Structure 1
Amino acid sequence: MTMPATEAAYSTLTVGTGTDAREIAVLYRAAQSGTSGPMLVWLGGYRSDMAGTKAIDLDGYAATRGLACLRLDYSGHGRSGGAFADGTISRWLEESLAVIAAHPAQEVILIGSSMGGWISLRAVQELKKTGAPKVRGLVLIAPAPDFTIDLIEPALTETEKQSLTERGYFEEPSAYSPEPNIFTKALLDDGRKNQVLTGIIETGCPVHILQGMRDDDVPYRHALKLTEFLPADDVVLTLIRDGDHRLSRPQDLERMRAALDEMTKG
């Protein structure tokens, strides 16, 4: 007899102390009773949230297989507290690790989209220091590791550089929102503290990268570069000729589910 899937439960987790404290919104679907397998952890992109198409599809995938699924909104994103302008890779990584620690699992699969791919790679490095939970696999969707160094800084205009110096941030139009993207000097400076494309990245697990070749935000060459830093891992790179940065079409979601099928079987 198949037990009905549990519902994803909403909660909040306080991360940080004093004036640095922020309430992080979490959606957690517990594993079905009697089901064993890794917990799926969604790590979203810059200015995205846990209610996006891919995140919801991931939760549905977990429900059909009885697996636990964990989603969060970084501070300044979605339903979480905190100011977006205070956000850095270190800050959002801290929140991700705190949420994972609050939902114990023996094994996890990290699914990172865009900036979430960078945070996933950093999370693997931090989780390896404690050995728990074990990272069973990574699914990286249009991953953007080191995007502040490799993609933003080389393209800065003189006007943007001046804005960073005078105001501490610069703005640019967003293709996904009427509100502009805001990139702070703190984010750019912190990016250098979290660089991963500087030497061999030893994840110790299979890695599947899904990358659109019509991605205007993270060029597919960046995914090719990432694979060069993963020589010790079982890496699959799927280049999607007509795929854009979102990779949220039905066929793209099916590719994500197929990658998860490979990592969760056995």
Structure 2
Amino acid sequence: MNKDDPAESGIERLMVGEGAAERAIAMRIDRPGSENRLPHVVWLGGYRSDMTGTKAAELARRAVELGTGCIRFDYSGHGASGGQFVEGTISRWLEEALAVMDHARSTLGTQRMLLVGSSMGGWIALRAIEELRKRGEGGRVGAMVLIAPAPDFTSELVEPNLTDAERNSLAERGFFEEPTPYGPDANIYTRALIEDGRANRVLEGLIDTGCPVHILQGMNDPDVPFTHAVRLMEHLAGDDAVLTLIRDGDHRLSRPQDIAKMLETVSSLATAVS
């Protein structure tokens, strides 16, 4: 790490995986105040996004204002982390998210977390609480805020809309590319990602998070229809779940008014579960 590089300033790295699968995960950790009683905030970004985005940065600033800790990180193949993007799967990125959460507990004394998952990060958050509950550690998550969540997006939103050309590309090349309005590079979807996505489905029964869940969803979202969030709510029937639909909101929900709603929701939940 070059500490003279502004982009690297404040980055900590965590090694995840073994042997050829080992990769360095880049994190930014804001330590809590000495008297903090609020849950620490953990940011789980979306597909091909990184921890320097507007929502992540504003969330970290709000955590500092509240006096609590905030952990941001990049999945492998994203942002400042190591690893190849085309090797990424939900299971791989979930492993990294859990490793970061465990690292936060061992280094910061984090006892409770407030998970904030954006798009694919919402799927990762739901799988993370599932894995933590299997360990008997579900109580570590005090609340969740899901922003335009995309659980099961590979099987629910990608596979049903594949063209013949994309199916052929998956079969022959192991991936296909799709143009995206969010950057100059096309999105890449691999056969491994899609097959692994099926093994990580959450929309198949009751999702028992054991904590309050608040979903923020734009009704003008071209990538994850708001009906997907409504369906997720049906699977969260046993929880203290709230869905806020933003009539003119898009997928990113990064306008000032959207950011304000996110920060208001996080602040309110953090205080309520402290």
**What TM-score results when the alignment is normalised by the length of structure 1?**
0.96
SS of the residue corresponding to residue 242 of structure 1 reads coil
Alignment of 1:166-245 (within 5 A): 166-245=172-251
Deviates more, 1:32-41 or 1:128-137: 128-137
The corresponding residue for 2:29 is 28
Which AA in structure 1 matches 2:64? A
Report SS of the residue matched to 2:185: coil
Map of 1:30-179 to 2, 5 A cutoff? Answer: 30-104=31-105, 105-132=110-137, 134-179=140-185
Deviation at 1:134, TM superposition (A): 1.3
* Partners of 1:9 and 1:29 within 8 A in 2: no
CA RMSD of aligned residues (A): 1.0
Alignment of 1:14-25 (within 5 A): 14-25=15-26
Note the alpha carbon deviations across 1:106-132, whole angstroms, 9 max, x for none: 100100000000000000101112343
Counterparts of 1:264 and 1:13, CA distance in 2: 26
What's the CA shift for 1:99? Answer: 0.8
- Distance between the aligned counterparts of 2:36 and 2:235, measured in 1? 35
Structure 1 stretch displaced more, 152-161 or 120-129: 120-129
Instruction: State the 1:47 CA deviation.
Output: 0.2
Larger relative helix fraction? 2
Alpha-carbon separation, structure 2, partners of 1:9 and 1:109: 22
The amino acid across from 2:83 in the alignment is G
Amino acid paired to 2:268: E
SS across alignment from 2:268: helix
Q: Structure 2: which 5+ residue stretches go unaligned?
A: 1-8
Residue identity in the other structure for 2:217: Q
| Distance in 1 between residues matched to 2:29 and 2:268, nearest whole Å | 23
Q: How many angstroms apart in 2 are the aligned matches of 1:94 and 1:194? A: 12
Find the aligned partners of 1:73 and 1:127 in 2 and give their Cα distance: 20
TM-score normalised per structure 2: 0.93
The list of structure 1 runs, each at least 4 consecutive aligned residues, that deviate by more than 4 angstroms after superposition, is none
Superposed CA offset, 1:119-153 (max 9, x none): 00000101112343611111000000000000000
Per-residue Cα deviation, 1:77-98 (whole angstroms, up to 9, x for no partner): 0000000000000000000000
Give the drift of 1:261: 2.1
Following the alignment from structure 2 to structure 1, what is the Cα–Cα distance between the partners of residues 92 and 31?
26
User: What is the deviation of 1:34?
Assistant: 1.5
What SS class does the counterpart of residue 104 from structure 2 fall into? coil
3-state DSSP class of the match of 1:102? helix
Q: CA deviation at 1:35?
A: 1.5
User: Counterpart in 1 of 2:4?
Assistant: none
Shift in Å, 1:61: 0.4
1:262 matched to 2:246? The reply is no
| Separation in structure 2 between the aligned mates of residue 28 and residue 121 of structure 1, nearest angstrom | 22
Distance 2:131 2:146 in 1: 17
Paired letter, 1:108: M
Indicate if the aligned counterparts of 1:43 and 1:110 stay in contact, CA closer than 8 A: yes
Letter in 2 for 1:123: A
Identity of aligned residues (%): 57
Shift of 1:158: 0.2
